[in-house]
């Protein structure tokens, strides 16, 4: 694996936008049956009788798509060594079969570790956007990265 991004590269204002990825009905149902078996996620007929009026993806699947887009876009080419977690997560609107989602990652803050000189932390806002550019999900969280000196 080639390292392209270290902690120093993620300065406030840095933005990454991914290509779009669509979710099909079969993917939505399969995920829901395994992890979130509520009727509006895993039963197309039952979903019609819900306030959503049809099948929608689990919010957790939406987050998983965001994670995949992040990995494919930059995370797998980085010195990322994990995350202390999310500070915020919001699902703004349902994701339906065929919706094309793209990820926009924005660096909000960057801080060097006070205890570990080889590491720094980056605070991101991750927006999953639909084809119209409207957010369907927003997450705010932090990730730890090795600093360039330590990666060499």
Give first-to-last CA distance, the chain, whole Å: 14
* In the predicted structure, residue 1 carries a pLDDT above the cut 90: no
Range of the domain at 102: 7-151
Pairing of strands 15-17, 85-91: unpaired
* In the predicted structure, residue 91 carries a pLDDT above the cut 70: yes
**23: in domain:** yes
**1: in domain:** no
Q: Based on the number of CB atoms within 10 Å of its own CB, is 69 exposed (0-12), middle (13-18) or buried (19 or more)?
A: buried
pLDDT digits (tens, 9 = 90+) for 2-14: 899 999 999 999 9
User: Residue 53 and residue 19: Cα distance in Å, rounded?
Assistant: 28
Please, what is the average pLDDT of the chain?
A: 96
**Predicted pLDDT of residue 56:** 98
Residues sharing a CB contact under 8 Å with residue 47, sequence separation 6 or more, in sequence order: 39, 40, 41, 53, 54, 55, 56
**83: in domain:** yes
Q: The domain spanning residue 91 has which CATH number?
A: 3.10.129.10
Q: How many folded domains does the chain comprise?
A: 1
**Predicted pLDDT of residue 150:** 58
pLDDT over 90 percentage in the chain: 96
User: Residue 59 and residue 138: Cα distance in Å, rounded?
Assistant: 11
**2: in domain:** no
* In the predicted structure, residue 71 carries a pLDDT above the cut 90: yes
| pTM of this structure | 0.94
**Predicted pLDDT of residue 2:** 87
């Amino acid at each position: 694996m080639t390292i392209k991004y270290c902690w120093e590269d993620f300065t406030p204002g840095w933005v990454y936008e991914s290509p779009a990825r669509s979710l099909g009905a079969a993917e939505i149902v399969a995920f829901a049956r395994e992890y979130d078996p509520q009727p509006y996620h895993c039963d197309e007929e039952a979903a019609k009788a819900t306030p959503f009026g049809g099948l929608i993806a689990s919010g957790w699947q939406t987050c998983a798509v965001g994670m995949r887009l992040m990995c494919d876009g930059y995370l797998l080419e980085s010195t990322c060594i994990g995350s202390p977690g999310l500070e915020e997560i919001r699902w703004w609107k349902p994701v339906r079969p065929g919706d094309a989602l793209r990820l926009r990652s924005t660096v909000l803050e960057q801080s060097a570790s006070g205890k570990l000189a080889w590491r720094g932390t980056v605070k991101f806002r991750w927006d999953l956007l639909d084809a119209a550019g409207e957010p369907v999900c927003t997450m705010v969280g932090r990730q730890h990265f090795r600093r360039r000196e330590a990666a060499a």
